[in-house]
Amino acid sequence: MSPQDKYFSPFKAVIDTYSLSEQFTFPFYYQPHPLCLLAAKELQAHLIIQKDWQHNFGLKGEKESAIGKMFGVLLVKNKHNEIGYLSAFSGKMAGTNKLPEFVPPVFDMLAEDGFFMTGQCEINLINEQIKELENNPQILVFKTALKAEIDASSLEIKKHRTKMIEGRKQRKVQRIEAEIKLNTRDFLLLKQQLSKQSIRQKNQLRDLTVFWDERVKKAETNLNQLTDEITRLKNQRKELSAVLQQKLFDQYRFLNVKGEQKNLSDIFKQTTQLVPPAGAGDCAAPKLLHYAFKTGMKPLAMAEFWWGASPKSEIKKHLNFYGACQGKCQPILEHMLEGLKMDDNPLLNNPAEGKSIDIIYEDEVMLVINKPSGLLSVPGKSIEDSVYMRIKQSYPKATGSLIIHRLDMSTSGLMLMALNKDANKKLQRQFIHRSIKKRYVALLDGLIKEDEGTIDLPLRVDLDDRPRQLVCYQFGKPAKTQWQVIERKNKQTKVYFYPITGRTHQLRVHSAHLEGLNTAIIGDDLYGDKASRLHLHAEYIEFNHPVTRELMIFQVDAEF
């Protein structure tokens, strides 16, 4: 084997019976090629038996400090026409970004003699200086003194303003009484006296304000003598970090099949993000493709899998395969895969083509429909066909937005539609006040031990991989679901879901997440495994008619 092929792994098993794909994998949504599955198994076997490095994946019960990892395998043909595979991991592992058997990073930012580590050392020194200065106990003393001066200033000035208001009231009373009781000469003399009192109180306020401003300013000066250096160091750190980050972006240069190079800065200038997100370029997919192009290997297929304990926020299951992320990898791979014959993007296909909407109930102000799985509720970026478009075409005289609530594209079941603005507003109000009762039925890919419960996990969008959702206690919106087991059969569990809130992908995440039911819904291609469809159906809804206020109840059983 030639020196440049030291990361090329020939298959241990005989692969003569396997056929090769004519097109490269669409990396964001795919079924792994059989040879990629075989390569992944061989890599996983290596991870179990290797002794060259240690990393806590959380597979032996040590969950506290566990860090699972995304691994990738790239099926390639080398210069000698041999079929094999390359392996890579995302980010760092075992404290480094370079390990035996895995392709190197596109740029080694951790090289000890490199500019990044040198710059990082300089920033670390500034961090230590800032920490030391911030630990000075005098800062707390001066901060306390400044607060005391500000509080005292506010109190004294407030007291004097209250005194002035009371004085104005008294002088007004005196003027009114004097105008009745006194002659003109004495009344004018009194008005002069009262005016002088007013001026005196205003001057006192001015002097009081100047007095306290000087005291507060003196306290601020004492504090600033200690904090100005901290502020200067923080600004210096910010400038150094920006320069270092930009230099790093320029060093990450990615090849494509044509031999063209683009760095991170140039790649992300064409996106809405403008600036590369943290960790961009260090994922497995870009590393694999860059190394293949650099060494003259032909990429044939690719797959990425998660190895280790599930992370606390996102849903990644041990041994499950996942597409490349949209935020970090999509812009990079778009450049890298340019000119490479690739599978069509299945996300551009309309899975609802040929499927119809069943009208369950209809009157002059509203509809109740049964949405088929695969049909969007509203038009998407690449697919126009949706509940909204179909109802708009069928009911051209309808006014307002039609849509009151949404179901995921993959979810089937009952939806309410308003045919005028007033009905829309009244039905929306019921959703806002959570007076509408809904029940979903789902088939989960595993057995749930408990019979019922409540899941309370806040959710937000994964900014690096839309439309996936994350569990996030800091920035997530409240999301609450009640559930109840209906049946356990064939290592699957059928459950009822009663969503208290209505967040995007709420039931899917609450099912699959480690702190939820830890069992994905069958057919969940985002949080579990693909199947013929997502086995989630909105089967029951109860609400008040927007005009008559009559209680309306509808149920449509699931097809599964």
pLDDT tens digits for 114-147?
899 999 999 999 999 999 999 999 999 999 999 9
pLDDT digits (tens, 9 = 90+) for 172-221: 999 999 999 999 999 999 999 999 999 999 999 999 999 999 999 999 99
pLDDT at 1 over 60: no
251 contacts 244 by C-beta, under 8 angstroms: no
Residue numbers annotated as active site: 408
Phi, psi for residue 189 in degrees, rounded to 5:
-65, -40
Q: Running DSSP on this structure, what letter comes out for residue 276? A: P
Distances in Å between the Cα of 504 and the Cα atoms of 220, 228, 406, 476 are 48, 46, 9, 12
Q: Which residues pair with 83 in a beta bridge?
A: 77
- pLDDT at position 454 is 98
pLDDT at 249 over 90: yes
Band of residue 166 on the pLDDT scale cut at 50, 70, 90: very high
pLDDT at 4 over 70: no
Closest CA to 37 of 230, 426, 319: 319
> What's at 314, amino acid-wise?
E
pLDDT average, residue stretch 259-288: 94
Distances in Å between the Cα of 439 and the Cα atoms of 234, 262, 377, 427 are 53, 50, 18, 17
| The two structure tokens encoding residue 314 | 């996102």
Proportion of the chain above pLDDT 90, given as a percent: 92
211-216 contacts, C-beta under 8 A, 24 or more apart: 212/149, 212/152, 212/153, 212/156, 212/157, 213/153, 215/149, 215/152, 215/153, 216/146, 216/149, 216/150, 216/153
Q: What is the pTM of this model?
A: 0.84
d(CA 33, CA 19): 10
**Domain residue limits, the chain:** 3-107+252-347, 135-248, 349-555
pLDDT digits (tens, 9 = 90+) for 40-77: 999 999 999 999 999 999 998 777 788 999 999 999 99
50-53 contacts, C-beta under 8 A, 24 or more apart: 50/101, 52/99, 52/100, 53/93, 53/94, 53/96, 53/99
- pLDDT at position 112 is 81
235 contacts 103 by C-beta, under 8 angstroms: no
d(CA 149, CA 21): 76
Distances in Å between the Cα of 443 and the Cα atoms of 87, 128, 248, 488, 495 are 35, 54, 47, 10, 6
- pLDDT at position 195 is 93
349-555, CATH topology level: Pseudouridine synthase (3.30.2350)
